[in-house]
Amino acid sequence: MELSTVPDALAGAFRDAFAEEPSGVWSAPGRVNLIGEHTDYNHGLCLPVAIPRRTYVAARRRDDRLVRILSRQVPGERTIPLDGLLQGSRGGWAAYAVGVLWALEQAGHRVGGLDVAVDGRVPLGSGLSSSAALECAVAVAAVDLFALEGFDGDEGRRALAQVCVRAENDVAGAPTGGMDQSASLLARRDTALLLDFDGDVAPRHVPFDLAAHGLSLLVMNTRAVHSLDDGQYGNRREECAAAVAELGVGSLRDMALADLDGSLRRLSSDLLRRRVRHVLTEIDRVTRTVAALEADDFAALPSLFEASHRSMRDDFEISCAELDTAVETARTAGALAARMTGGGFGGSAIAIVPASGVDDISSAVESAFSAKGFREPELFPVSAGGPAMREPWTGGR
Ligand code: GLA
């Protein structure tokens, strides 16, 4: 389906379900992270890019405190009362949406019930932040529909990202950091977003216009199962917290890379040493990647991406056979740089490839997957897209 027709079709689905016209259509993007993985909850740096795959919501205020919600991707409509949300409604895709309204109220804003129809164009479970896209689309819709104040500009969007993180952590039960929501709300076209989670640091927009360099960013969704609320992501977070406690520091960001070996010696297990080594070296790789992009030095990227992937595979242990195959095959077939992206344990990898090589590299990855008996991957090139917004949809058929 042509993306420009999505808002109209979604408004039609809204009308069919709720017998009323939606007040508007909003959308928010998924993301890939160029580099800086599992660093956000360690007060570190990361460098995401919003992708043109977005989640759309058509919505309308209700006079009561019910949320009626349906998705074009999931059969059935659900009705969820806003009150008592935390008692028992945890789990399920709708929690990501309704949780945002709960978190807005927790932050002192006055909201009410909504009718919502969702069309999620970010592949689910792909590690491309379909959950954050849903949260952020609902969040910008709620800001408009309830005329909420304090969410304008980059400052306001950062506050809104915090609300969405709270929804994901406390209602949906996924203990994630803030990268995905920040990317979805703050990204800008043709740039990557440098996020610094150490205190109140404003994000920086880093040039990332690959097309101008004859390059493309290829997303390789392995379709290997990826979930952020199944305990594996949380384990890594707990291991980092255990290392912080052993080292007696405020966060891993407080550790100096120059003194890495000394710090590692103070840890009680090889496992914690590997986790800490990943986080510290990964934060350094983000700094180096930003320097390279700002100097237009793409030649620096292959070794940074390779070191990052190796660190995630061997030290942080969040890769899998499918991700390793995608990365290795893309590189052998001519990608400039490749690495897994996002939380890991399945999901997606990315490759920076010559624009003229997208088809050949994609075929090579597909053949490698088929030869190994993996599920057929989903491959598509993306450019750096814009943030969550109200769609220019004015209603009517
Ligand atoms: C997921 C989480 C993010 C971040 C990444 C790993 O996408 O939602 O907060 O921790 O994993 O970098």
**Residue-by-residue DSSP string for 115-170:** EEEEEE-SPTTSSS-HHHHHHHHHHHHHHHHTT-SS--HHHHHHHHHHHHHHIIII
Given the structure tokens 């040039």, which residue do they identify?
A: 207
Domain boundary at 207, 228, 256, which? 207
Average pLDDT value for residue range 269-279: 98
Mean local confidence (pLDDT), 88-115: 89
Verify that 255 and 194 share a domain, yes or no: no
Question: Which residue has its alpha carbon closest to ligand 1 atom 1?
Answer: 343
Over residues 37-55, the pLDDT tens digits come to 999 999 999 999 999 999 9
Catalytic-role residue among 40, 119, 170, 180: 180
392 domain residue, yes or no: no
Residues 198 and 279 in one domain: no
Do 76 and 202 fall into the same domain? Answer: yes
Indicate if 122 and 81 belong to the same structural domain. Answer: yes
Q: Please report, for the domain that includes residue 86, its CATH number.
A: 3.30.230.10
Region 257-269: mean pLDDT is 96
> Which of 179, 221, 227, 235 to mutate for ligand 1's pocket (most ligand atoms within 8 Å of CB)?
179
- State whether 231 and 196 are in the same domain: no
Residues 59 and 73 in one domain: yes
Q: What is the mean pLDDT of residues 111-116?
A: 98
Residue 158 has pLDDT above 70, yes or no: yes
Q: Is the CB of 30 under 6 A from ligand 1?
A: no
High-pLDDT (> 90) share of the chain, %: 91
Residue with CA at minimum distance from ligand 1 atom 8: 176
Q: Give residue 90's pLDDT.
A: 54
Q: Is 181 in the pocket of ligand 1 (CB under 6 A)?
A: no
Q: Are 11 and 394 in contact (CB under 8 A)?
A: no
Q: Give CA–CA dist 354/371, Å, rounded.
A: 25
Q: What is the DSSP letter of 312?
A: I
pLDDT at residue 87 greater than cutoff 60: no
CA dihedral over 112, 109, 119, 124, signed as positive or negative: negative
CATH of the domain at 226: 3.30.70.890
Residues 214 and 240 in one domain: yes
Residue 183 shares a structural domain with residue 266: no
> For all residues of the chain together, what is the average pLDDT?
95
- Give yes or no for a contact between 267 and 246, defined as CB atoms under 8 angstroms apart: yes
Is residue 395, in this structure, part of any structural domain at all?
Answer: no
Say yes or no: 241 and 358 in one domain. Answer: yes
Give yes or no for residue 89 having a pLDDT over 70: no
Alpha carbon distances (Å) from 347 to 104, 227, 329: 30, 8, 16
Residue 172 binned pLDDT confidence (cut-offs 50, 70, 90): confident
| Residue 363 to residues 282, 353, 358, Cα–Cα distance (Å) | 30, 13, 9
Q: What domain count does the chain have?
A: 2
Q: What pLDDT is recorded for position 44?
A: 98
Residue 216 within any structural domain of the chain: yes
Q: Does the Cβ of 176 fall within 6 Å of ligand 1?
A: yes
Up-side HSE of residue 327: CA atoms within 13 Å toward CB? Answer: 25
The reply to whether ligand 1 has any atom less than 6 angstroms from the CB of 37 is: yes
Which residue range is the domain that position 374 belongs to? 210-382
Q: Which carries the bigger pLDDT value, residue 171 or residue 288?
A: 288
Percent of all residues in the chain with a pLDDT value above 70, rounded to a whole number: 97
Tell me what pLDDT residue 395 has. 78
Among 31, 34, 38, 317, name the best residue to mutate to test ligand 1's pocket (greatest count of ligand atoms within 8 A of Cβ): 38
Q: Is residue 353 part of a domain?
A: yes
Within-domain flag for 393: no
Residue-level pLDDT at 207? 97
Residue 397 pLDDT grade (very low, low, confident, very high; cuts 50, 70, 90): very low
Domain boundary among 175, 207, 239: 207
215 CA distance to ligand 1 middle (Å):
26
Q: What is the pLDDT, as a whole number, of residue 84?
A: 73
Is 228 a residue whose pLDDT tops 90?
no
Contact (CB, 8 A) for 51 and 34: no
What spacing in Å lies between the alpha carbon of 169 and ligand 1's midpoint?
A: 12
Average pLDDT score over residue span 144-173: 95
Mark whether 164 and 307 lie in a shared domain: no
Considering the domain architecture, whether residues 233 and 113 belong to the same structural domain is answered as no
pTM for the whole structure: 0.96
Would 219 be classed as within a structural domain? yes
For ligand 1, atom 10: residue with the closest CA? 38
- Based on the residue annotation, tell me whether 180 is a catalytic residue of this protein: yes
Q: Spell out the alpha helix ranges (H) of the chain.
A: 6-18, 94-106, 130-145, 153-166, 179-186, 232-247, 260-265, 270-294, 301-310, 321-332, 358-372
Residue 345 in this model has a pLDDT that exceeds 90: yes
Q: Is residue 397 part of a domain?
A: no
The pLDDT of residue 3 is above 80: no
Which residue, 207, 225, 241, sits at the end of a domain? 207
pLDDT average, residue stretch 145-160? 97
Do 202 and 217 lie in one domain? The reply is no
Whether 388 is in a domain gets the answer no
